[in-house]
Amino acid sequence: MASMSVLPSVVDTVSAGPVVLACGLVRTYSLAGVQVPALRGVDLEVSAGEIVVLMGPSGCGKTTLLHLLAGLDAPDAGDLTVAGVDLCRAGQTALDRFRRDHVGVMLQSDNLISTATAREQVALQLLARGAGWRDALRSAELALAAVGLSHRLRHRPADLSGGEQQRVALARAIAGAPALVVADEPTGELDSATTRDVMDLVVRANREHGTTFVIATHDPVVADRATRVVRLRDGVVELGGAA
């Protein structure tokens, strides 16, 4: 497997202060006219270079918290700053720029583009971050080599295994060296060997480029590779669960 050093180094977007600073986050959804609280006042601080794992039972608020950190949703109350951007007060243009430049996302059921090759999946992310198309394609090839997929550059998602799709999603998430990568159950459908491979890549990106990760998981194998585990229950951080 190629070295992750082919990827660019992380740009220092948060030289002063943590990558994530969340205070009192509240998020409530309305389902069939019923108010369902997902987060009830979450505080979270993540320093640059950490691999933070969120754990807890289904429905505890892990996915909701990740969506807030990625700027995909907004809290009903509280304060949230990520990569130096105040997400609670940012306008749409600033939010679009934040999502483009500062955060990489791996969703639980990652939405790879069905008609795009593995190389194109990554190149499109780089293109959105300002690279020219030729440079984006070349950088995508290097990124995919780094996750062991040089032989799959021109394969589409339907022709890739679950583990290979996750590797493409990881290469896409870290393309362009965002300040933060958030991942929701990135190994949930993988066997133990592939889970270890994916986490090796996460740790390598973290160590070589200072990429900060926040990962929601139920998998103790993933938790074992974290620098810190934060446990959620009923929409709050458990007392003593952020060590």
Segment 30-44 shows an average pLDDT of 93
Q: Is residue 113 part of a domain?
A: yes
- 218: tokens are 């139920």
Out of 15-24, 43-52, 64-73, 216-225, pick the least confident: 15-24
Q: In whole angstroms, how far apart are CA 134 and each of 137, 139, 199?
A: 5, 9, 30
pLDDT at 6: 42
pLDDT at 157 over 70: yes
Question: For residue 21, what is the enclosing H or E element?
Answer: strand 20-31
Pick the closest to residue 197 from 184, 186, 208 (CA basis).
Answer: 186
Q: Record the pTM.
A: 0.88
- 124: tokens are 């499109």
Whole-number average pLDDT of the chain: 88
Number of domains in the chain: 1
Name 81's bridge partners. 21, 86
Q: Is residue 147 part of a domain?
A: yes
pLDDT at 130: 82
Could you tell me the CATH number of the domain that includes residue 211?
A: 3.40.50.300
Q: Three-state SS for 71?
A: coil
Q: Is residue 243 part of a domain?
A: no
Q: In what order do the strands lie in the sheet with 77-82?
A: 34-46, 20-31, 77-82, 85-86
Pick the closest to residue 98 from 89, 87, 109 (CA basis).
Answer: 87
**pLDDT tens track for 77-119:** 999 999 999 999 999 999 999 998 999 999 876 679 999 999 9
pLDDT at 105: 93
Q: Is residue 233 part of a domain?
A: yes
Q: In whole angstroms, how far apart are CA 152 and each of 29, 147, 161, 196?
A: 40, 11, 11, 20
Q: Is residue 242 part of a domain?
A: no
Q: Is residue 161 part of a domain?
A: yes
Q: Is residue 212 part of a domain?
A: yes
Distance CA 109, CA 193 (A): 20
pLDDT at 109: 64
pLDDT at 5: 42
Q: In whole angstroms, how far apart are CA 112 and each of 74, 120, 171, 178?
A: 24, 10, 12, 19
Per DSSP bridges, beta strands 236-237 and 228-233 are antiparallel
Q: Is residue 131 part of a domain?
A: yes
Question: For residue 228, what is the enclosing H or E element?
Answer: strand 228-233
Residue whose structure tokens are 């790879």: 112
pLDDT at 201: 86
pLDDT at 69: 97
pLDDT at 220 over 90: yes
Pick the closest to residue 70 from 234, 230, 213 (CA basis).
Answer: 213
Distance CA 56, CA 60 (A): 6
Domain that holds residue 222: 4-237
pLDDT at 18: 93
Distance CA 140, CA 216 (A): 26
